Amino acid sequence: MATSSLAISPRKLRSDLYSYSYQNDSNTPLVISVLASLIERTMARNERIVKNCRWALSKDIRTRVFDCHETPDLTIQSYLERIFRYTRAGPSVYVVAYVYIDRFCQANPGFRISSRNVHRLLITTIMVASKYVEDMNYRNSYFARVGGLTTNELNKLELEFVFLMGFKLHVNVSVFESYCCHLEREVGIGGGYHIEKTLRCAEEIKSGQQEEKRYNQIARIML
């Protein structure tokens, strides 16, 4: 997969600063545009492969649940912006969704992202990622309306997805940051861009709390 070169400081990548404000940030996160661009290029590559090699068409009946009877008119960018506008899912949700999409394709080598399945795959992975990352979430019925599906359709997609993934939904910090690095390499904007990270493992948080507690105890002794 072709990528553009962009220098990102490792210190920034490992930063625990939370740069995204759920209450005040009404702008669409740049990660959405980066993800849309990456997926569109993947689709274009898959279409070339299928055009040249008919045997490359997906033969996995299980993954055909994601195929639409009619291709939606919305572009990938517009669809992701719609999901963000109505769900306000933070940037980390889209990074985790990207991890899920990659894992899904690896677990199901006969599956190829196309204009027929990409919208259903996106709404499903984003909803599942939101449940993994966010503290509070909308019901499946709400995500279904946002994605242009019925509740029963989305429920079925979610169930099929987690089974086809082998329930491998955990994303640790190192994996999360490696996918952030890949998305950041996709950016060709002057001045650079740092994916907004809000995912930290419980062990790191607990360790930080314990260290802070020790500092407070030492401070009280010295007073």
Q: Encode pLDDT of 188-216 as tens digits.
A: 543 445 566 655 554 454 455 555 555 55
Q: Are 158 and 150 in contact (CB under 8 A)?
A: no
**Structure confidence by residue, pLDDT tens digits, 73-100:** 899 999 999 999 999 998 999 999 999 9
Q: For 158-183, what is each residue's pLDDT tens digit?
A: 999 999 999 999 999 999 989 988 88
Q: What is the pLDDT of residues 37-77, one digit of tens each?
A: 999 999 998 888 777 665 555 556 788 899 988 888 899 99
Does the residue 207 lie in any domain? yes
Cβ contact 156:166 at 8 Å = no
Name the residue among 57, 165, 162, 73 with its Cα closest to residue 112. 57
Residue 189 lies in a domain: yes
Write down the pLDDT at residue 198: 59
Is the pLDDT at 115 greater than 60? The verdict is: yes
Mention every residue, 6+ apart, whose C-beta is less than 8 A from residue 67.
116, 117, 120
Residue 74 lies in a domain: yes
Q: What is the mean pLDDT of residues 13-31?
A: 53
pLDDT at residue number 163 = 96
Per-residue tokens: 56:
């490359």
Distance between CA atoms of 124 and 179, rounded to whole angstroms?
A: 19
Residue 82 falls inside a structural domain: yes
Domain-embedded: residue 3:
no
φ, ψ of residue 25 to 5 degrees: the values are -90, 105
Structure confidence at residue 62 (pLDDT): 83
Structure tokens at 79: 């669809």
Count of domains in the chain? 1
CA dist 115 to 69, 106, 120, Å?
11, 19, 10
Q: Name the average pLDDT for the chain.
A: 78
- State both tokens at 91: 């940037």
For residue 118, pLDDT beyond 80:
yes
d(C-alpha 122, C-alpha 128), whole Å: 10
Counting residues of the chain whose pLDDT is more than 90, the rounded percentage is: 48
Q: How far is CA 98 from the centre of its chain?
A: 4
Residue type at position 98: Y
What is the rounded CA–CA span in Å between residue 147 and residue 119? 8
In a domain, 2, yes or no: no
Q: Check whether 15 has a pLDDT greater than 90.
A: no
Q: Tell me if 157 sits within 8 A of 124, measured CB to CB.
A: yes
Assess if residue 67 is contained within a domain: yes
Measured distance CA(108)–CA(130) in Å, rounded: 22
d(CA 41, CA 48): 11
Q: Say which residue the tokens 């314990």 belong to.
A: 210
Show the tokens assigned to 107.
């677990």
Residues spanned by the domain of 161: 10-222
pLDDT top residue among 157 and 29: 157
Q: The CATH number of the domain where 186 resides is what?
A: 1.10.472.10
- CA trace torsion 135, 138, 143, 144 (10° rounding): 140
- Whether residue 158 lies inside any domain: the answer is yes
Cα–Cα distance for residue pair 178/185, rounded to 1 Å: 11
